[in-house]
Amino acid sequence: MALCDVCFRHCEIPEDGTGFCGARTCADGEIRPRNYGRITGLALDPIEKKPLRRFHPGSLILSAGSYGCNLRCPFCQNHAISWSAEALSCAGRTEVMTPEALAAAAVRLRSRGNIGLAFTYNEPLIGWEFVRDTGRLIHEAGLVSVLVTNGTAELPVLEALAPCIDAMNIDLKGFTERYYTKVLGGSLAMVKAFITRAAQLCHVELTTLIVPGENDTEEEMREMTAWIADLTDASGSVIGPEIPLHISRFFPRFHMTDRPPTDVRAVYRLADVARERLRYVYTGNC
C-alpha cells in the first residue's frame, strides 16, 4: 500500500488497486499512473474549443485525452472517459501511445496548422507524469503545450509541469465550498491555490459552468470575480482583471437531468456582472 499525493484525497492505494480517480495504482509499493499513455480521444481542434480565446486565437491544436477523474461532477459531458462505470473499466480497451509517438503526431500535423498539443477531455493532472514527459518533447519540437484541467491537484504537481506547459484553461466551477464539496466532490480551497500559482507561471483562462440553482446568483459571481481580479503575477503585479473568464450554459446530462438548461438571459446577465471586474468575459453554449 502507498499514499497518492496528487490531490486532496491522498488515497491509500493497496497493491494493484486504484485510487478514487480510477487511474492511479500501486505497483511494487509505489504510486504510478495506470492510464499512462492510454489514449481515449485524439482530435485536431480549434484552440477556442479548449476554451482559450486569448492564446494563439484562430489556430488549431491536437487534443488528447485519457481516462479517469478526481471529481464527480454529476453533469459531466465527458463521463464516458471520466468517471462512469464505462470509463473506470476502460484501461484494457485503450490504445497506448508513448510520449514520442504522440509528440510525433503533433509534429506531423504542423502542416495542417497545428500549434502543439492539448491535454484535455478527462482530467490530465491525475496522469501528470505523461503530461510532463510528452510536454517536454512538444517543447523540443518547437510546439506549445496546453492543459485543460479542473485544477484539483497539489502545488508540487503544478510545479513539476510548469516548465512544459504554456497555457491552461482551469475550471473554477463555482465559489462556495458547499457546491465544491457536496455537488462536485472537490475542494474549492485547492482549486483557488492552484489557480493562484498557475497565474504566476503561464497564460491562464478560467471557465465557470452556470448550473441553475447551484452557482447562478449575482452575489456569487461578484464574489468570484472580485477574487479573480486580485490575482497577481510572479512579481506581485495585479493581473487578475486581464484573466479571461468563460461563462458557459449548462445542459442536463449524465446524472443531472432534474433541471432545465440554464436560461440564456441568466448567462448574459452574469457575464455583465463579471465585466464589472474583468476585462475579458466570454459566454459559451448560448
Share of the chain above pLDDT 90, in %: 92
Residue 197 has what pLDDT? 98
In this predicted structure, the answer to whether residue 183 has a pLDDT above a threshold of 90 is yes
Lowest mean pLDDT, pick from 27-41, 48-62, 72-86, 106-120: 72-86
Cα 93 → chain centroid: 23
Find all residues with CB under 8 Å of 257, minimum gap 6, and list them: none
pLDDT tens, position by position, 215-266: 999 999 999 999 999 999 999 999 999 999 999 999 999 999 999 999 999 9
Say what the pLDDT of residue 80 is. Answer: 86
**Section 14-32 average pLDDT:** 95
Confidence class of residue 91 from pLDDT cuts 50, 70 and 90?
Answer: low
Q: Exposed/middle/buried for 148, CB within 10 Å: 0-12, 13-18, 19+?
A: buried
The rounded distance, in Å, linking the Cα atoms of 286 and 108 is 34
pLDDT (mean) for 48-72:
97
Under the banding of pLDDT at 50, 70 and 90, the label for residue 90 is low
Whether the upstream peptide bond of residue 51 has omega within 30° of 0, thus cis, is yes
Please tell me whether the overall predicted TM-score, pTM, comes out greater than 0.85 for this model: yes
* C-alpha span between 58 and 36 (Å, rounded): 30
Name the band, by pLDDT with cuts 50, 70 and 90, for residue 93.
low
Domains of the chain with bracketed CATH:
2-284 (3.20.20.70)
Is residue 169 helix, strand or coil?
strand
- Label the pairing between strands 41-46 and 203-210: unpaired
Helix, strand or coil, per DSSP, at residue 87: helix
Provide mean pLDDT across the span 196-219. 98
What cell does 53 get? 480565446
Rounded to whole angstroms, the Cα distance separating 87 from 82 reads 6
In this prediction, residues 46-61 reach a mean pLDDT of: 98
Q: Name the burial class of residue 96, with classes exposed (0-12), middle (13-18) and buried (19+) by CB atoms within 10 angstroms of its CB.
A: exposed
Predicted pLDDT of residue 179: 98
At residue 86, the pLDDT reads: 76
- If you average pLDDT over every residue of the chain, what do you get? 96
Instruction: Please say if the pLDDT value at position 112 is more than 80.
Output: yes
Distance CA 231, CA 239 (A): 6
At which residue does the C-alpha cell 482551469 appear?
Answer: 170
Taking residues 14-29, report their average pLDDT: 95
How is 7-64 classified by DSSP, letter by letter? STT--EE-BT-B-TTSSEEEETTEEEETTTTEESEEEEEEGGGTT-SSSSTT-EEEEE
